[in-house]
Structure 1
């Protein structure tokens, strides 16, 4: 493959995914490792992380760190529930809450290692209704993101603030949050503290977060 043909090939791939391309995708398009290195040396592609490049001229995408981590580990052709953004990273994609992202959480049906610093893959089987696409990436639905944050040990008070953001954005409902709290293994104490904190914040005409069995 010629120089310009290689550049066109990776540009075509990158145009569909935030200006980013993986080495696996480049190889699949006929661009070998040496060719890719030469494109990078010429300033036509920038290496962002192991196995991920951004093509020249492409703007830095919002949430680039999360997108790069997902793209590097996603196995193309698999169901969208095969690798899903969760935890604080999911909250950031949804634009809810204020959290410090210590590491990027990805969820997969079976246990696997990420092999990347700052990226953790947790084994969790998810149904389609628990996953939405945000910024082009499979992400825990807002209600399940909220419960996942509690599972991870985030402060119930801080998670309540994130839930208020989600409710105000109209991307979830109190009924969906209540269901998600029961779907996931949230500790009873964390669920109670979160429920109390959120009910203090939302209007009195909102549906109660407490399930009939509470």
Structure 2
């Protein structure tokens, strides 16, 4: 029936937030029956906390190890995929310590005027479903795509060699796959 409000369901909101390190968006809250006014009251009563515009956190939900990534992913309307040095770090494929979070968003986002969160670097490209995996609550480029992205953006030769060597020794990318990545990136030989 049009115009009928959904009855608030804390269980539904909790289930959504649980899969996102305790975070949820205003749209997800509305899907669980928590519209603007009710959500505002929950903030006032201390049950939820506003993290950034349109993103909230369940106050009593345990902190997640990569909660800041879940927040950035929700900011991207769940369209982004963590990539480049951020993905290398998540996979522990080198000693890289990224100073900023790398997120690949759809190529057509180039035309959007966005206020990018501080410390986030956006890359614009298509990431196919077979090039994604999940790291906890967030999507991340799979190891082969991660190595290609890093090689294409000229990660230092030492870190790139270390990443290739670790991917090979841990069986994350086959030797043939590493050769294809090297060729696609225009490298003379397979690093590492």
Aligned-partner Cα distance in 2 for 1:83–1:27? 22
Shift of 1:83: 3.1
Secondary structure of 1:96 counterpart:
coil
Shift of 1:26: 0.9
Secondary structure of 1:115 counterpart:
coil
Q: TM-score, normalised by structure 2?
A: 0.78
Shift of 1:125: 2.4
Q: TM-score, normalised by structure 1?
A: 0.71
**More displaced, 139-148 or 27-36?**
27-36
Secondary structure of 1:159 counterpart:
helix
Q: Deviations over 1:174-195 (max 9, x none)?
A: 3222222334xx3x4xx34x73
- Alignment of 1:42 with 2:39, yes or no, is no
Alignment check: 8 A CA contact 2:8 2:32 kept: no
**Number of matched residues?**
184
Counterparts of 1:137-148 in structure 2 under 5 Å?
A: 137-148=138-149
- Alignment of 1:12 with 2:9, yes or no, is no
1:181 to 1:126, Cα distance in 2 relative to 1, 3 A: farther
Aligned match for 2:32, one of 29, 45, 48: 29
- Alignment of 1:93 with 2:82, yes or no, is no
CA RMSD of aligned residues (A): 2.8
Q: Deviations over 1:96-121 (max 9, x none)?
A: 22223233222233231442223333
Secondary structure of 1:133 counterpart:
strand
Alignment check: 8 A CA contact 1:19 1:58 kept: yes
Give the match for residue 110 of structure 1.
107
Q: Give ranges in structure 1 of 5+ residues lacking alignment.
A: 76-81, 199-214
Secondary structure of 2:107 counterpart:
coil
Aligned-partner Cα distance in 1 for 2:170–2:60? 33
Q: Give ranges in structure 2 of 5+ residues lacking alignment.
A: none
Give the match for residue 206 of structure 1.
none
Give the match for residue 171 of structure 1.
172
- Alignment of 1:195 with 2:190, yes or no, is yes
Shift of 1:135: 2.0
Alignment check: 8 A CA contact 1:89 1:104 kept: yes
Give the match for residue 67 of structure 2.
64
1 or 2 for the larger relative contact order (CA 8 Å, sep ≥6)? 2
Shift of 1:6: 5.5
1:181 to 1:125, Cα distance in 2 relative to 1, 3 A: farther
